[in-house]
Amino acid sequence: MIRTLQQLLGLGLAVGLAARPVAGADLRDPYFGEALYHAYQGQYFDALERLDTELAQYRSLDEPELDTLHYHINGAEFSVGDFELDYRMHQRAGRAIKAVLEGAVDEAVRNEAAFRLARIQFQKDQLDDALHALARIEGTVPGEIRDDVEFLRANIYMATGRPGEAVAVLKPLQSDESLAGFAAYNLGIALLQDGHPQEAIEQLDKAGRLAADDRTSLAIRDKSNLVLGSMLFESGDFERAKQSLDRIRVEGPFSNQALLRAGWAEASAQQYDRALVPWNILVDREPTDVAVQEAMLAVPRAYASLNLNGRAAITYGRALELFNKQIERVDASIGSIREGQFLKALIREESRQDNDWVIRLRSLPEAPETYYLMELMASHDFQTALHNYLDLEDLKARLMAWKTSLDAFDDVIRLRGQNYEPLLPEVDAQFRELDSRMRLRLEQRKHLGERLQAMLTAPRPDYLATAEEQIAGDRIALIGKQLGDSDGPESLALRQRAARLSGALTWRLETEYHERLTAAHLHLNELNAQVDALTRQYDAFVRTRQAATHSYVGYDTQIEGLRERVGDALQRVDTVMARQGQMIETVAIDQLNARRERLAAQQTQARYGVADSYDRAARAEPGAGGR
């Protein structure tokens, strides 16, 4: 009993450690939101993969403050730590938070980072580091974590064997409603460890009477009553022990132990008939439960103590039957585990539909190996091993899918190559021709623009002559040249006519110059719009052309590298999974063998009890009138 009591005390250290990711205020980074979406569904691999990628990209930016993740960067770093813990990656957990702690952040953020780091280190059993992290908290502590910090500090003190200091920390926390059940229970345990049993009893009594409505608070209240009941039982205060045990819910997780101990409390006070009340409730419960099996023997012993030997014989007989059956079940479980059925049951999809999948395993059909799973799950290490096995199974499925994806990528690349390679040379040739024509036009446009610009300061009407006018001007000049310097009257008349025509042309060019210059500018602007559209098309073509090449060139090395890494990882997963599975099976079989030994001992006791009861009944019959 003392051993059990010592074990009971452990729970206070485990509370208050479930962390939830932090999104902060309004979400601005969709990928961080996506990581949270996965984390909230317990898909921590996906959550980590998203967030790791985002954080890596963020850290590689030249101006990270322009990135949307910047608004959530502290929350993201905190969340990575939480996800890593949830995904049982304790070695990595805390690194990101340490980075926040070392960075230039304000006091409140630094304090929260220190708290979160301490919590991770506490969970990793690095108690000195956890205390060191808490020591870094100074100045303003965010209100919402103030009590949590102290509660964690108290837990660390208790884990490091400093219950006196834990008491001092826990006392002021009793007024925090949200911590009430845990703080009250832990204070009781700290007082007990600090050598104040009487105060501990009073404190646990308070914790056992606290109002509670959610199942977590109800469970911790039950727990307080169970510990209190056990302590009072140890101290011989059976009546009070019974009162405390009676407060435990009949259907709660501690009810079987409570019923068993309530019975023992009555039996120790020689109230065997009253002891039979809880024990008779208990014997109808799940027969694989230790408390139920113990009650199976306790009931006939109580009848025997009441000299109801006939009843004792019958109930010993029932116990014997139960132990025989349970031994068969344990044997079946061992056989089933040896055949690999346990591991198969573990990875069955329906066994993982809810958070309590481990408990649900018991109710799976055709899985006798899971009957005693509660006991197997007793060890944290065993539980971790089970989860790791499932994680490896999940990783294996992912790696297999990626292997297929890489093959598909190869296909995509090959098909794209087959499609583009015959097309691209012709497209490129056409493009080169269009490109040279376009460059020529652009050059011409540039030249025109410069000319018009120059004409604003140095007018050149001849530049704005129409083609017709230019031809006419040339012809007049030619006629003038052909007429030469002849002094004949005809030649003179013709020269005058040519001069008049030339004058008329010049007059027109000079007088219409401004109008023509304005029109030329307008046309040039219109041309600009056309050139812009052409440039956009040109850029789009260049991008598409590049994308075409990028869609199938340059992936070979990366894909080959990834294929190799996926293959290596698959091999490692297979190896470790086999070892992990074997370890789980071995430990499970060891535990079941231990359980079998106990059942065998109980079976012997029951067998002896049956015989003894019949003897006593037979001896009592003539004188006692058939009692």
Partner 1 sequence: MRMNIRSIPFARLLCSLALLLCLGSAHGGEQKNDQQRMRGLDEEVQEIKSDVLRIAEELRRLEEKLLYPSGTQLAIFVALVKGDQMRLDAVRLQIDGQLVAHYIYSSKELEALRKGGVQRIYVGNVATGDHQLEVLVDGKLEGGADFSRTEHFALRKEVKPKLVGLTLAGPTSGNAPIAIGEW
> Which H, E and C letters describe 459-507, residue by residue?
CCHHHHCCHHHHHHHHHHHHHHHHHCCCCCHHHHHHHHHHHHHHHHHHH
Work out whether 263 is an interface residue with partner 1 (CB under 8 A): no
Q: Please tell me the distance from the alpha carbon of residue 74 to that of residue 90, in angstroms, as a whole number.
A: 20
Q: Is 442 in the site for partner 1 (CB under 8 A)?
A: no
CA 95/CA 121 separation, integer angstroms: 11
Q: Counting contacts by CB under 8 A, is residue 598 touching partner 1?
A: yes
Query: Does position 19 bind partner 1 by CB under 8 A?
Result: yes
Least CB distance to partner 1 at residue 103 (A):
21
Residue 379 touching partner 1 (CB under 8 A): yes
38 binds partner 1 (CB under 8 A): yes
- Contacts of residue 325, defined as CB under 8 A and 6 or more positions apart, other chains included, come to 287
- Which range binds partner 1 by CB under 8 A, 177-185, 187-195, 269-277, 604-612? 177-185
The tokens for 478 are: 């030619």
Q: Compute the least distance from the CB of residue 280 to partner 1, in Å.
A: 21
**Contacts with partner 1 in 345-364 (CB under 8 A)?**
355-356, 358-359
Binding partner 1 by CB under 8 A: which of 108, 196, 246, 253?
253
> Is residue 174 within the footprint of partner 1 (CB under 8 A)?
no
Closer CB to partner 1, residue 173 or residue 302? 173
Name the token pair of 274.
């009253």
Nearer to partner 1, 92 or 98 (CB): 92
From 102-110, 237-245, 383-391, 504-512, give the range in contact with partner 1 by CB under 8 A.
383-391
Q: Does 108 bind partner 1 (CB under 8 A)?
A: no
Q: Which amino acid is at 81?
A: G
496 binds partner 1 (CB under 8 A): no
Closer CB to partner 1, 478 or 540, in the complex: 540
Closest CA to 457 of 515, 517, 505: 517
440-444 — which CB contacts under 8 Å span 24+ positions? 442/531
- How far apart (Å, rounded) are the C-alpha atoms in residues 5 and 2? 5
**Nearest-angstrom CA–CA distance, 117 and 98:** 7
Residues 385-404 that bind partner 1 (CB under 8 A): 385, 388, 391-392, 395, 398-399, 402
User: Under the criterion CB under 8 A, does residue 413 sit at the interface with partner 1?
Assistant: yes
| Closest approach of partner 1 to the CB of residue 106, in Å | 17
Closest CB 622 distance from partner 1, rounded Å: 43
Q: How far is the CB of 534 from partner 1 (least distance, A)?
A: 17
When asked if residue 327 is in the footprint of partner 1 (CB under 8 A), the reply is: no
* 448-477 binders of partner 1 (CB under 8 A): none
Residue in 72, 162, 261, 595 binding partner 1, rule: CB under 8 A: 595
Q: Evaluate whether 509 touches 469 at the Cβ level (below 8 Å).
A: yes
Q: Please state, in angstroms and rounded to a whole number, the distance separating the CA atoms of residues 21 and 74.
A: 11
At its nearest, how many Å lie between partner 1 and the CB of residue 375?
Answer: 6
Please say which residue, 34 or 234, places its beta carbon nearer to partner 1. 34
Residue 59 per-residue DSSP state: H
Total of chain residues touching partner 1, rule CB under 8 A: 111
From first CA to last CA, the distance across the chain in angstroms is 34
Rule CB under 8 A: choose which of 1, 41, 103, 411 binds partner 1.
Answer: 41
Element holding 213 (H helix, E strand): none
Instruction: Rule CB under 8 A: say whether 381 interacts with partner 1.
Output: yes
Rule CB under 8 A: say whether 59 interacts with partner 1.
Answer: no
Please give the structure tokens belonging to residue 27: 């979400």
Asked if 40 is part of the footprint of partner 1 (rule: CB under 8 A), the reply reads yes
**With b meaning 16 or more CB within 10 Å and e meaning fewer, what string describes 314-352?**
ebbbbbbebbeebbebbeebbebbeeebbbebbbeeebb
